Amino acid sequence: MLHSFTMMNLNQNQISNTKWIEQLALEELNMEESGVINFSEHLNPRSYLDEASIQLMNQVRDLFEVYVTKFNEFRGNSQSSSQIRIFKISNTVNDFMLFRNSLRLIVSRKSIDCLTIGFLTANKEFVAPRLNIEDHSQSQGVHEIKAHIGPFNKITWNFMGEEIDLNAMVRHYVSEFVSNSSR
């Protein structure tokens, strides 16, 4: 027995983003008006990557804000230098940093397919956060979260070749930042 397929049959999780269909309709309208036809734009991952990296940065920032707000609430004393502050980095789309006791955690969109995360010390050196308990020395540089484009232009974000879990990633960086910025 065939069931009729309607939008009512789909739940919110199945419809992740409708911006692409809106863009498709606008492109068709532009084709009709201009007479210029582009049949392969949907195969170019560049626009998908740009949108996906901005969306990822927004999700990461939102999670950082939730965790930092909770930390500051439980820590108390809003005038204290123990408070973590979040700042937007000017002249960027949505880069940001956490700041406390002269340590900064910089989260930046290096390119449309790469986000970087690292500490900026008072000496203006970039230091990569530790990854595990055996990692006693902090290495120079930053961590890179890289896009992977799969079949049908599906974009996943990976760290060291493995797909990231946003909550686990942000929890790790907030914990590292708190332990390294405490006095």
Q: Where are the domains of the chain?
A: 44-181
Cα four-point dihedral sign 21, 23, 29, 34 = negative
- The answer to whether 113 touches 120, Cβ cutoff 8 Å, is no
Listing DSSP states for 52-82 in one string gives HHHHHHHHHHHHHHHHHHHHHHHH--TTSTT
Tell which phi-psi region holds residue 135, choosing left (phi > 0), alpha (psi between -120 and 50) or beta.
beta
- The first and second tokens of residue 55, run together, are 């969306």
The model's pTM is 0.79
Which backbone phi and psi does 53 adopt, to 5 degrees?
-70, -35
What are the pLDDT digits (tens) for 3-43? 554 555 555 545 667 777 887 788 888 888 887 777 666 67
What are the pLDDT digits (tens) for 123-146? 888 888 888 766 655 566 899 999
Which backbone phi and psi does 28 adopt, to 5 degrees?
-65, -40
Which backbone phi and psi does 141 adopt, to 5 degrees?
105, -160
